[in-house]
Structure formats: C-alpha cells, structure tokens
C-alpha cells in the first residue's frame, strides 16, 4: 500500500492487452494513462529510447508493458519530466526502480520531487468543471525521487536526446519545460498548453480536440503562463503532443495555438484572476 492508501494489486488486475502506445511519428508515440499522456521517443525496436513523463500512479506496469511491446526488454536511457505534478510523476518511482534509470527535471522543480516542498493546493474556483471542484483534494505533497533525480542542463540540451531541446515554460509550475525538435518542429508541450478542457470531466471523457491553456486549477502564475504559450506559438510547431488531450498537427494546430497566444487572457485566464494582471 502506498502513501495514499492505494493497493499495489491494482496494477496486477488491469488488462495488459490495452497497454499499447499510439504512434504519432516514426520515432514518437504516446500512451494515455487515464487522464494524462506519457511519451515514448525512439523508433519502434530502437536500441535507445527515452520516456517523457510517467503518468498517474498505478500505471507503472501498463507503461512497462507498452514499452516492451515497442522496444522489447530494452529499458529507456532516461526519464524526462515536464514538471512534478502528481499526474505526471505518479508512476515515476516504480518505473525508475524497475529500469534503474536516471530521471531529469528542471532545477526549479527539484524541491517538489525530492520531498522538500508542496505544490499549492488546487483552486476549485476556476474552470467550472468537476475536476476543478475536486482539485483541492488532488495530491500536492512532494514525492521523493532523490535516488534517481538530476537537474536538466541549463543550456537546454537533453541527455540522450540529440536534436531535441528543452524550453523553460513556467506558469503552470515554476520549472515546467516543453521539449522541441527543430528538424521537424515537433513539440511536447507538457501542460503549458493542452488539447482538452481539463477542468471538465465530460470533455476529458469525450476527448474533444481543441487547444486550451494549462489546467486552470493547478496554474498559479498566469502572467508567466501567457508568456510561455506565446513562446511556444512562436516556434510554429507542426506537431504537438500535450500532457492532456489528443495530439494535434498542421493548420488546425497552428490556427488554434496562435489564437490562444493572441487571446490568452480572454480564453485561458479565469475571469476573477484576469483582474490581477
């Protein structure tokens, strides 16, 4: 049993045949862990690959199963975290234990994943959906990944991922990062922007595809969040895989991301928070 009272046996009871990553590009695939995506970087059967984010708790065995179907028994070279919220690090400890691999995160997130500092409690007054209402009950206390965690390089390079770079995108969290590959303008945005209205349980269930700002209930610096979205829009990504929602590409992505960047305060910032900026 873990710190939240969950039973380890939950992993064992889930059906592994559904644990299959969906390929977006020849060397990029994603797997949805209930409400959040994890990303596999590395072509199928590649000898070297990297995992981005670790999903919610109790999905470790399913993530491992999806990885084995794609890469066989080869472990990733590393795990990269876009940030340390519970739904992105929930299975990190079990995955690192299983594979014995390093985990990298932005230096400004280190205290949240080494047991030193809590994230702010979720804000039930924003978003207007069930997940917003429930957000004060979501875990915010720090996990402790001290055994495996390392800071990402400050120059934007990413260990084991040649051709990719991190982009510091604070706002949702202080050390949030996105990953970008210039060659084909592929973006892994984490929660800097997403493609589903995460505050609404119905939208999450249906997975209606539309570019949205970061999950409002866990975003506490809207001014920084706006600057981060503008920074990512300026990259003109061709493909975006987000922390929540389905991947988007092409003109639909470009039009909606530009629209969000140009109208961020009206579209993303809760009205009563807008008065503060």
The answer to the question of residue 2 being in a domain is no
Is the pTM higher than 0.95? The answer reads: no
CATH number at 102 reads 3.60.15.10
The answer to the question of residue 3 being in a domain is no
Provide the 3-class DSSP secondary structure of residue 104.
strand
| Whether pLDDT at 258 is above 70 | yes
- Boundaries of domain holding 191: 9-274
Average pLDDT over the chain reads 88
Cα(114)–Cα(64) distance, integer angstroms: 23
Candidate from 17-26, 93-102, 128-137 with smallest mean pLDDT: 128-137
The answer to the question of residue 142 being in a domain is yes
Residues 6+ away with beta carbon under 8 Å from 261 = 229, 230, 232, 233, 234
Q: What is the pLDDT of residue 157?
A: 98
Percentage of the residues of the chain whose pLDDT score is greater than 90: 73
| Whether pLDDT at 141 is above 90 | no
* Mean pLDDT, range 138-155, rounded to an integer: 89
Residue 230 phi/psi, 5° resolution?
Answer: -65, -40
The answer to the question of residue 43 being in a domain is yes
* Mean pLDDT, range 70-77, rounded to an integer: 97
Q: What is the pLDDT of residue 138?
A: 63
The answer to the question of residue 226 being in a domain is yes
The answer to the question of residue 15 being in a domain is yes
The answer to the question of residue 210 being in a domain is yes
| For the chain, the helix, strand and coil percentages under 3-state DSSP, each to the nearest 5 | 30, 20, 50
The answer to the question of residue 1 being in a domain is no
Return the closest-CA partner of residue 115 out of 88, 82, 149. Answer: 149
Question: What does the pLDDT look like over 1-36, one tens digit per residue?
Answer: 444 334 444 455 456 778 899 999 999 999 999 889
Our count of domains for the chain comes to: 1
């Amino acid at each position: 049993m873990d710190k939240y009272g969950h039973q380890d046996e939950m992993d064992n009871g889930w059906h592994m045949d559904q644990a299959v990553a969906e390929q977006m590009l020849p060397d990029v695939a994603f797997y949805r862990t209930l409400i959040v995506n994890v990303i596999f970087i590395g072509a199928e059967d590649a000898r070297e690959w990297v995992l981005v984010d670790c999903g919610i708790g109790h999905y470790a065995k399913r993530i491992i199963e999806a990885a084995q179907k794609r890469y066989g028994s080869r472990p990733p070279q590393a795990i990269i975290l876009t940030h340390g919220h519970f739904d992105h690090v929930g299975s990190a400890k079990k995955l690192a234990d299983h594979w014995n691999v390093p985990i990298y995160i932005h230096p400004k997130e280190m205290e949240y994943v080494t047991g030193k500092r809590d994230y702010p409690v979720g804000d039930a007054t924003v978003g207007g959906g069930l997940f917003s209402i429930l957000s004060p009950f979501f875990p915010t206390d720090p996990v402790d990944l001290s055994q495996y965690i390392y800071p990402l390089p400050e120059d934007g390079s990413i260990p084991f991922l040649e051709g990719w770079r991190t982009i510091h995108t604070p706002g949702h969290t202080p050390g949030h990062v996105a990953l970008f590959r210039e060659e084909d303008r592929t973006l892994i945005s984490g929660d800097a922007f997403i493609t589903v209205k995460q505050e609404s349980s119905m939208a999450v269930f249906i997975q209606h595809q539309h570019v949205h700002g970061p999950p409002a209930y866990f975003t506490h610096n809207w001014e920084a969040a706006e600057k981060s979205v503008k920074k990512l829009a300026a990259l003109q990504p061709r493909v975006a895989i987000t922390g929540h929602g389905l991947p988007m590409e092409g003109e639909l992505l470009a039009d909606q991301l530009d629209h969000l960047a140009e109208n961020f305060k009206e579209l993303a910032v809760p009205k009563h928070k807008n008065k503060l900026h």
